[in-house]
Amino acid sequence: MFLSIDAGNSNIVFGFFDYKISKWSHEIRIDTRKGITSFELVKKLSLFFLENNLKPDRISQIGFSSVVPEVVSPIEDFCLTFFGIEPYMINGKSFEKLNVSTTRPNEIGTDLMANITAAYDHLKEGCIIVDFGTALTFSVVDDKGAVIGVNIVPGLKTAIKSLFTNTSKLPEVKLELPESAIGKNTVHAIQAGVLYGYAGLVKGMLQSIRAELNQDFKVIATGGLSKILTPLKDSFDEVDQNLTLKGIKLITEANQPKMA
């Protein structure tokens, strides 16, 4: 099995690809915390493996992307302790062997490059990847696999948290799309404003990118919150929750011998 580890600002995602059935078979998400320890990860993953009837020795290769420097060392220690494997840490030099390229390899996030790698490998043409994470990102790659650029906006949870944190009387609300775009009470008003507002933002950004580049790019959405905004369902050609995990696997295998 291949293990992709995606350490983001909100979650550390462990995704398991089973070569025998050629699919992503298991996934566990752990809240990202800068003080997390290797011991904590061993405890959580030990329970997960037990509950899913998995054995650590089934893991043959590990790819690792992180945008949170503080969790890198604990995760690397965890991999060595639990699996006896040193994970491949994706960095700027990792992209040299890929079919996609960027002129700023040390600036673009490894998670975004994983998205771009997986999307381009799948479509074989220029596309836009919309990632609904802690930040809402729009990554644009051309027909030859070159990264044109990236747009970054505060994510849905970030927007809700900011509103709740910086106002005295507005409550923190669940990310649920109300039936009406016009709020009938405080909770619905916040949900309608943020969620319908973000739907409009995404549509507007896609329209602006296409107009500027004069190309009707295909769009792939990913990220844990990509399915919440149902008004956007016609704006995406595909929604792939495993896109980042797939990209981490592709980048790792391009830089290390593939191990079944």
What are the tens digits of pLDDT across the range 166-181?
Answer: 776 667 788 888 889 9
Cβ-based burial of 149 (10 A; exposed 0-12, middle 13-18, buried ≥19): middle
Q: What pLDDT, on a 0 to 100 scale, did the predictor assign at position 258? A: 67
185 or 120, which is more confident?
Answer: 120
Residue 223 binned pLDDT confidence (cut-offs 50, 70, 90): confident
**How far is it, in rounded angstroms, from Cα 55 to Cα 66?**
25
pLDDT at 37 over 80: yes
pLDDT at 260 over 60: no
Rounded mean pLDDT of 14-43?
96
Residue 160 binned pLDDT confidence (cut-offs 50, 70, 90): confident
Q: Express as a percent the part of the chain with pLDDT over 90.
A: 74
pLDDT at 259 over 60: yes
Residue 185 binned pLDDT confidence (cut-offs 50, 70, 90): confident
Q: What pLDDT, on a 0 to 100 scale, did the predictor assign at position 178? A: 86
Instruction: List helix spans (H) across 83-179.
Output: 110-123, 156-165
**How far is it, in rounded angstroms, from Cα 225 to Cα 92?**
27
Measured in whole angstroms, the distance separating CA 44 from the mean position of its chain's CA atoms is 21
Strands, sheet with 127-132, edge to edge from the N-terminal-most edge strand: 147-154, 135-141, 127-132, 218-222, 238-239
pLDDT at 79 over 90: yes
Q: What pLDDT, on a 0 to 100 scale, did the predictor assign at position 247? A: 97
**How far is it, in rounded angstroms, from Cα 228 to Cα 175?**
8
C-alpha distances (whole Å) from 248 to each of 16, 17, 46, 140, 217 are 11, 11, 23, 18, 23
Q: What pLDDT, on a 0 to 100 scale, did the predictor assign at position 209? A: 97
- Give me the amino acid identity at 35: G
**How far is it, in rounded angstroms, from Cα 56 to Cα 84?**
9
pTM of the model: 0.92
Cβ-based burial of 204 (10 A; exposed 0-12, middle 13-18, buried ≥19): exposed
Q: What pLDDT, on a 0 to 100 scale, did the predictor assign at position 52? A: 96
Q: What pLDDT, on a 0 to 100 scale, did the predictor assign at position 65? A: 97
pLDDT at 244 over 70: yes
Identify whether the C-beta of residue 5 lies closer than 8 Å to the C-beta of residue 63: yes
Tell me the catalytic residues: 111
**How far is it, in rounded angstroms, from Cα 114 to Cα 108?**
10
Identify whether the C-beta of residue 124 lies closer than 8 Å to the C-beta of residue 149: no
**How far is it, in rounded angstroms, from Cα 23 to Cα 15?**
11
Segment 108-137, tens digit of pLDDT = 999 999 999 999 999 999 999 999 988 999
